[in-house]
Chain A
Amino acid sequence: MVEQVTRPHARNLVRFARAHPEVLVLSADLTASCEADDFRTAFPDRFLSMEMAEQNMMSFAGGLAREGFRPHVHTFAVFICRRPYDQIAMSIAYPNLPVRLIGFLPGITTPGGVTHQANDDLALMRVLPNMTILECGDATEVESVLDAAHAIAGPVYVRNLRGQVPRLFPAHDPMVLGHCRELSPGRELLLITAGITTEEGLRAGAALREKGVELGHLHISTIKPFTDPQVAAALCTTKRGVIVLENHSVIGGLGSAVAETMAELGCGVPLVRLGLQDTFAHGASKEYLMRKYGLDALAVVGAAERLLRKEFGIDESVLAAVPVTAVTGAKAEDL
């Protein structure tokens, strides 16, 4: 079974900050909710409570970054990307300042409903020049994302995970900027996942391979820039179709990035974008919402059936019985 890691960001933030004295943490009244409470205890002088006032927090962070600090803004992804959008654009992104926007509860990972769900954050951040976007898919990536971001001189938006986080990738195999992870080879269909959808993709992939489908599976952690040559090569060599499964609207996120790349490269196979189909969601459990909006393994199986014009007879009980184990063998080629 997959190991569940408790509050990996809380520990990682303290470790990372110890090595980088220029790191500050800014929080808008969601400090424990964003696992920045251990940092606050360890480095009270480097913790800035910015009240429930995100607009000021973003511009203030820009000012700190201009003076050589590395502000790590912590709040929910939705509160980063919507209300203070102009402040991020003008006070952070335009001057290309090294502010880290650490966003929690991406997509439907919150029962908080429509006000708390960041289903458009990737679209909003992707369109900002100078912005790098990283998404964590497991505990290993949560533990390495701050180091990956640190190499970037400009702003970084991190789609992060909190609480109990599965470890899908070995702890010694960190997130590498601009590199996908090849979770399985295969040239018939290509499945592309990121964040929490990778675990669903692993489940669907195992069931489909059992039925003889040659399914390639790539896990993406650098959403922008979307320039990994390994992704381009896989898109161009896949024979029957590409499936993207994302915890986001199908407009403007990973599916759109894949579509743009395929169009530019002339990859002449169909693309199925699984995600929120241009709809808001509502408050309920993650499992319920993933099923309701087609963000789960069953949705991947359905897409594969449509692309291959076959029926595999894979139902929920089959998928539930698929053991998802940590990915050990596959590692991104060092291109």
Chain B
Amino acid sequence: MTSSQSHWQESVNSVALGIRRRVLRHTLDNNGGYLSQACSSAEALATLYGKLMHLGPSVGPATPAPFPGVPGPDNPNYFTGAAYNGPHGPEFDRFFFSPVHYALVLYAALIETGRLGEKGLDHFNKDGSTVELIGAEHSPGHEVTAGSLAQCLSQAAGIAWARRSRGESGHNWVFMSDGEFQEGQTWEAFAAMHFHHIDNLTVVVDANGQQCDGPMDGVGGVEPLGDRLRAFGAVAVEVDGHNLDALVRAAATEHVARPLVIIARTDPCHGLEALRARGPKLHYVRFKDEAERAEYRRILEGM
């Protein structure tokens, strides 16, 4: 292994650890948070930002701007949070974030990668802030409004079609959760991408097997997800979503005239073993009492 290889892995691992620590601290300070999502997706998001995506430096303000009012004909001041993913340009990649209840995790990833100021989370879920609980397109790191789930992929596919028609070299990355594969629109999008030969798009799925009501296999099935995706004309690769090398290798899979899907099999308690005791429902974590909170504070101090 050359030193440059070990360097990126060290740096991506440190971003992933930083995401977990930051989200855990926030969950402790606010007595609630989407903590299991940080545990499952930290490596995938850190690898996307640290290794896979070709992005320019953030052009968003270090201190997130307040909410500028909803978009409309009388509001020239509206902006999207895409500025934190760097400037738009034909050569640059674009990032589309679909499961926006993971917003806290994305904000943490932006801070850890130096794209958002250290104090960005101070604005989280505060009235008048863009750092919203469920991210919308004005929220840091977000480009489209995706909160009702499964709409982001179709929007990104339209953008990918448009970029291909202009001959742009930049790739389009979509981050999704596995629960979104229960929505019919997701499959409509894959059918359309296959039909239109859209291959400048890669989906990374945080397959943590969790949804709001609990473990996915008790709510509804999306498995075998890889086979289903291949039947819909995508190239699908399944990897350990906590293994950086496996994620990077998967992203290099050839996918001519088809989108690539990286199914990142993840553990919603990865790096935070104590969380498993709270199962099987892990969607949103709010500590039961002071004793549990103290336990997690001790864990944070040791991380």
Residues of A near any B CB (own CB < 8 A):
48-51, 53, 55-69, 71, 86-87, 90-91, 94-96, 129-130, 153-154
Inter-chain CA distance A154–B72, complex, in Å, is 8
Q: Are A63 and B162 in contact (CB under 8 A)?
A: yes
Q: Are B72 and A56 in contact (CB under 8 A)?
A: no
Q: Are B72 and A130 in contact (CB under 8 A)?
A: yes
Ranked nearest first, the 10 interchain pairs of A and B with the lowest CB-CB distance are: A63-B158, A59-B154, A67-B162, A56-B188, A53-B188, A60-B158, A63-B155, A63-B159, A55-B185, A64-B158
* Cβ–Cβ < 8 Å partners of B71 in chain A: 94-96, 130
Q: Are B188 and A64 in contact (CB under 8 A)?
A: no
* Contact of B11 with A by CB under 8 A: no
Contact A63-B157, Cβ < 8 Å, known A48-B196, A51-B188: yes
Interface bracket on B: 20 to 34
Inter-chain CA distance A53–B190, complex, in Å, is 11
* Cβ–Cβ < 8 Å partners of A68 in chain B: 162
* Cβ–Cβ < 8 Å partners of A95 in chain B: 71, 137, 144-145
Q: Name 28 interchain pairs, CB-CB below 8 A, sorted by A.
A: A48-B161, A50-B192, A51-B188, A51-B192, A56-B189, A58-B154, A59-B152, A59-B155, A60-B154, A60-B192, A61-B158, A62-B154, A63-B144, A63-B156, A63-B158, A63-B159, A63-B160, A63-B161, A63-B162, A67-B159, A67-B166, A90-B145, A91-B144, A94-B136, A130-B71, A153-B73, A154-B72, A154-B73
* Contact of B195 with A by CB under 8 A: yes
Contact with A along B135-174 (1 / 0, CB 8 A): 0110000001111100111111111111100100000000
Q: Are B196 and A90 in contact (CB under 8 A)?
A: no
Inter-chain CA distance A56–B192, complex, in Å, is 8
Shortest C-beta distance, A30 to chain B (Å), equals 16
Shortest Cβ distance from B152 into A: residue = A59
* Cβ–Cβ < 8 Å partners of B196 in chain A: 48
Shortest Cβ distance from B192 into A: residue = A56
Q: Are B147 and A91 in contact (CB under 8 A)?
A: no
* Cβ–Cβ < 8 Å partners of A57 in chain B: 192
Contact A129-B70, Cβ < 8 Å, known A60-B155, A60-B157, A63-B162: yes
Contact with A along B172-193 (1 / 0, CB 8 A): 0000000000001100110110
* Cβ–Cβ < 8 Å partners of B144 in chain A: 62-63, 66, 91, 95
Inter-chain CA distance A48–B158, complex, in Å, is 11
Inter-chain CA distance A87–B160, complex, in Å, is 18
Q: Are B155 and A91 in contact (CB under 8 A)?
A: yes
Inter-chain CA distance A324–B152, complex, in Å, is 50
Residues of B near any A CB (own CB < 8 A):
70-73, 136-137, 144-148, 151-163, 166, 184-185, 188-189, 191-192, 195-196
Inter-chain CA distance A192–B159, complex, in Å, is 42
Shortest C-beta distance, A270 to chain B (Å), equals 35
Q: Which of B137, B151, B162, B166 contacts A87 (CB 8 A)?
A: B151
Query: Given known contacts A67-B159, A67-B162, what 8 new A-B pairs fall within 8 Å (CB)?
Result: A51-B191, A62-B154, A63-B154, A67-B166, A87-B185, A91-B145, A94-B71, A94-B137
Shortest Cβ distance from A90 into B: residue = B145
Q: Are A51 and B155 in contact (CB under 8 A)?
A: no
Shortest Cβ distance from B151 into A: residue = A59
Most chain A CB atoms below 10 A, which of B160, B162, B184, B196? B162
Inter-chain CA distance A67–B166, complex, in Å, is 10
Inter-chain CA distance A68–B163, complex, in Å, is 10
* Cβ–Cβ < 8 Å partners of B161 in chain A: 48, 60, 63-64
Shortest Cβ distance from B190 into A: residue = A56
Q: Are B195 and A49 in contact (CB under 8 A)?
A: yes
* Cβ–Cβ < 8 Å partners of B188 in chain A: 51, 53, 55-56
* Cβ–Cβ < 8 Å partners of A64 in chain B: 158-159, 161-162
Q: Are B73 and A66 in contact (CB under 8 A)?
A: no
Q: Are A130 and B155 in contact (CB under 8 A)?
A: no
* Cβ–Cβ < 8 Å partners of B153 in chain A: 59
Q: Which of B73, B154, B192, B195 contacts A91 (CB 8 A)?
A: B154
Most chain A CB atoms below 10 A, which of B155, B156, B157? B155
Inter-chain CA distance A71–B154, complex, in Å, is 14
Q: Are B163 and A67 in contact (CB under 8 A)?
A: yes
Contact A59-B70, Cβ < 8 Å, known A48-B196, A64-B158, A90-B151: no
* Cβ–Cβ < 8 Å partners of B154 in chain A: 55-56, 58-60, 62-63, 87, 91
Shortest Cβ distance from A55 into B: residue = B185
Inter-chain CA distance A63–B152, complex, in Å, is 9
Q: Are B72 and A96 in contact (CB under 8 A)?
A: yes
Shortest Cβ distance from A84 into B: residue = B185
Inter-chain CA distance A96–B157, complex, in Å, is 19
Inter-chain CA distance A69–B165, complex, in Å, is 11
